[in-house]
Amino acid sequence: MEPPPEGQSKPPGEPLADGWVGVIANRASGRGAGQALVRRLCRELAARGYETEVAWTVEERLALVERADRASGCRCLVAVGGDGTVSALVNERPRVPITVLPCGTENLASQHFRLRRNPAWLAREIAAGHAVRVDVGSAAGRRFLLMVGFGFDGDVVTRHHRARTASGRVKPTHRAAYVEPILRASLFYRFHPITVRILDEGAEEDLTGTTVFIFNLPRYALGLPFAPHASQDDGLLDLVIFRDPGPFKALYYLWRVFRGTHLAHPGVFHRRVRRLHISSAETIPVQLDGDPAGFLFPSPDEAPDATGPTEPGWTVEVIPDALEVLTAAPQAASPRKLVLPLARGRFAR
């Protein structure tokens, strides 16, 4: 446990709390700013009566989550880092609430839950304890909070990760670092066909495209609204398929996404689903919550050194109410949604 700092007193008017808070941190996030944020957060939590325990490594993270689930008194687990750190924590499947102190490039999860990069503010929110239950997605057994992408998007993320780790260590990243991977993917990615089979009972359907997204939350890099009506707690995933191949078509689709008109285009399929299966006759790169997730393989014998599953085809499904998140404030009622196409024969309301 982190000892309370000397000379630190609780804020006026706030009672001292019982319990402790686990902190899962990434030293490389925010160009090294993560360590300073962790120290400040621990001081702020100590001032409110919370002891803290910090995990920096994978082994420490696993042990900390196990302790939080087993022992009593854990207020929450805090991911200090970017969306990759959040994803790593989600995949430990914690049974206690989680929250985020953002310190990454895009910080999409923290944006969605309105969480600030301010340790004092977050410590107050942890003490307040406003929590919501949210769905998560599962892709071949690995959980995602934001989205999973197959095809061109996966290729860009995979190329960026390789460049970031080429020196043998993980370098801090920034938005400009994606320019070269996007250009290279535009020149060299082959846009192989991907088959999507919707498995929802009574709404089975087969669709084909060259880039496939499945969203749990309506967030993507640069604020691009790929699935603007995705909901955190509706028990559904938003499937978005871009049908036609080629870099020029991909740029056209991106322009439509930027304008918010892509879902009305005949070359874009949008369904709201619970369970589906993805397959291809070719090897397809995959990204999950902004990090490379291996490859979708045409046969189980391909690429034995892959980082992801090697079976032919991935099953993707929603897990309702799987995660509790401490947020900035109680979630306001969602605005009335448009009628959108669900898996064939149904409509989302």
9-56 pLDDT, tens digit per residue, is 445 445 456 689 999 998 766 455 788 999 999 999 999 999 999 999
Q: Are residues 125 and 151 in the same domain?
A: no
Q: Are residues 117 and 167 in the same domain?
A: no
Does a structural domain hold residue 134? no
Q: What is the pLDDT of residue 299?
A: 66
Q: Assign residue 146 the CATH number of its domain.
A: 2.60.200.40
Distances (CA, A) of 220 to 4, 21, 185, 193: 38, 29, 18, 23
Q: How many domains does the chain have?
A: 2
Domain end, chosen from 71, 100, 129, is at: 129
Q: Say if CB 76 and CB 123 are below 8 A apart.
A: no
Q: Are residues 47 and 166 in the same domain?
A: no
Domain end, chosen from 82, 101, 129, is at: 129
Q: Are residues 163 and 206 in the same domain?
A: yes
Does a structural domain hold residue 291? yes
Could you read off the pLDDT of 142-183 as tens digits, one per residue? 999 999 999 999 998 888 767 666 676 666 665 666 667 678
Q: Are residues 273 and 236 in the same domain?
A: yes
pTM of the model: 0.84
Q: How many angstroms separate the CA atoms of 28 and 174, rounded?
A: 12
CB atoms within 10 A of CB 81: 27
Does a structural domain hold residue 136? no
Does a structural domain hold residue 15? no
Q: Are residues 227 and 152 in the same domain?
A: yes
- Structure letter (DSSP) for residue 142: E
Length of the chain: 349
The residue segments making up the domain with residue 85 are 20-129
Distances (CA, A) of 232 to 2, 90, 267, 338: 34, 14, 26, 16
- Which run of H or of E encompasses 326? strand 314-326
- E strands of 124-267, at which residues? 131-139, 142-144, 147-150, 194-198, 205-209, 211-215, 237-242
Q: Are residues 147 and 104 in the same domain?
A: no
Q: Are residues 77 and 195 in the same domain?
A: no
Instruction: For residue 235, give the 3-state DSSP assignment.
Output: coil
Q: Are residues 55 and 152 in the same domain?
A: no
Q: Are residues 182 and 300 in the same domain?
A: yes
Q: How many angstroms separate the CA atoms of 198 and 316, rounded?
A: 10
Does a structural domain hold residue 289? yes
Q: What is the pLDDT of residue 106?
A: 85
Does a structural domain hold residue 165? yes
Q: How many angstroms separate the CA atoms of 272 and 236, rounded?
A: 6
Q: Are residues 209 and 288 in the same domain?
A: yes
Q: Which residues of the chain have pLDDT under 70?
A: 1-18, 28-32, 161, 163-166, 168-179, 181, 299-311, 329-349
Q: How many angstroms separate the CA atoms of 207 and 185, rounded?
A: 24
Q: How many angstroms separate the CA atoms of 122 and 116, rounded?
A: 7
Does a structural domain hold residue 243? yes
Does a structural domain hold residue 204? yes
Which of 202, 204, 203, 215 lies closest to 241 in space, CA to CA? 215
Q: Assign residue 42 the CATH number of its domain.
A: 3.40.50.10330
